[in-house]
Amino acid sequence: MLKTGLAVAIALYTASLLGFPSGIFAGIAALFAIQPSIYQSFQTIIEQLQANIIGVTIATLVVYTLGNDPFVIGFTVVVVIGVCRYLKMGDSTVSIALIAVIAVMEATEMEVYQFALMRFGSLMLGIFAAFLVNLLFLPPKYESNLFLQIDRITSDILQWLRITTRHLSDDPSLKGEIARIQQDVRRMDQTYLLFSEERTYLKKNRLSKARKLIVFRQLIATTRKSFDVLKAFHHLDERIKSIPPNFQTALVQELDKVIHSHERLLLSFMGRIKQKNDETLHAISEPDIPHLVETLIEMYQDNENDDRLIFLPLASQLMEYHHHLTHLQTLLHSYQKFHQNEKLEFLNERN
């Protein structure tokens, strides 16, 4: 948001200093050229340059041959979109090409080629302004944002798991929360992608970054799996009430242990739990999910109907959740062993 405003302001101010008659096109180009990360800026600047050239060239040729009637401009827009799609350009890049078409095909008394060059310069000014802002100003802190997203989403999921396993959840409310969490998970995946694209130039930092990426990927995978368990419980909410009370109690107790384990792992990664003799992660109360799943299946083996099959997806999700937590525990133990003294960026944000 701040980067976009800064890029537009720089483009407009520079266009005014250079005496461009319609500096507004520089601002519009900067608006569409801004990217969420430095890496994506490097990736797209050449493509944006190509799109600008395509738009200006086609528009200039059309003005020379067919004029700049509104229907001709519309036809030119269709042609440019087709060319850009053929070259597999992104949506923001196609927008740059279309801005070039409209900018060049505006009615003017100047020579067409001079007018086209002036518009080309204005658009390139906006593109480079956006590139420089991405490169030099307001570097994004995707590591901090990513962990805060993971922490918040996981907390929401685990809270709803506690409520659902005790049959306290309101179905419409939970359904709405599941839809919201699904959108949050997609945004979390996008933030992870942006964090993974950030370039690290020192060899020492590259190794640390690689380890962090592995840990973050497993944190996300574990959060996703807890979400799958929540959806499975929501789907079977009424049927779970038919399970014998003693097993319902065991199910709630074991799931509470799993939730507690997940929370402790997050706190350990944040450095909120003191490490004493390397026991930070191993002191967690271990849930016995494999035994719970085995008991759930055995309970329905003597049942002549197929009702027991309904609970197999839940059993599968619980086992996978258990495996993800075990793997996450191993990764965090390894990370803490090799990077004990490293200050994590999301802790700096909170302090």
pLDDT band at 280 (very low <50, low <70, confident <90, very high): very low
Highest mean pLDDT among 170-174, 310-314, 319-323: 319-323
**CATH numbers and ranges of domains, the chain:** 2-136 (no CATH), 142-350 (1.20.58)
Distance of CA 264 to the CA centre of its chain: 24
Kindly report, residue by residue over 58-103, the tens digit of the pLDDT.
888 888 888 878 888 898 899 989 988 888 887 778 888 888 888 8
CB burial readout 248-275, b (16+ within 10 A) else e: bebbeebbbbbbebbebbbebbeeebee
Q: Is 143's pLDDT higher than 90? A: no
Q: Mean pLDDT across the stretch 98-124? A: 77
Kindly report, residue by residue over 222-250, the tens digit of the pLDDT.
999 999 988 888 887 666 666 667 677 77
Q: To the nearest 10°, the Cα dihedral for 272, 274, 279, 282?
A: -20
By the 8 A CB rule, do 342 and 208 touch?
yes
Greater confidence, 348 or 312? Answer: 312
DSSP 67-124: ---HHHHHHHHHHHHHHHHHTT--HHHHHHHHHHHHHHTS--SS-HHHHHHHHHHHHH
Report the range of poorest mean pLDDT among 112-121, 176-185, 313-322. 112-121
Q: Mean pLDDT across the stretch 3-20? A: 82
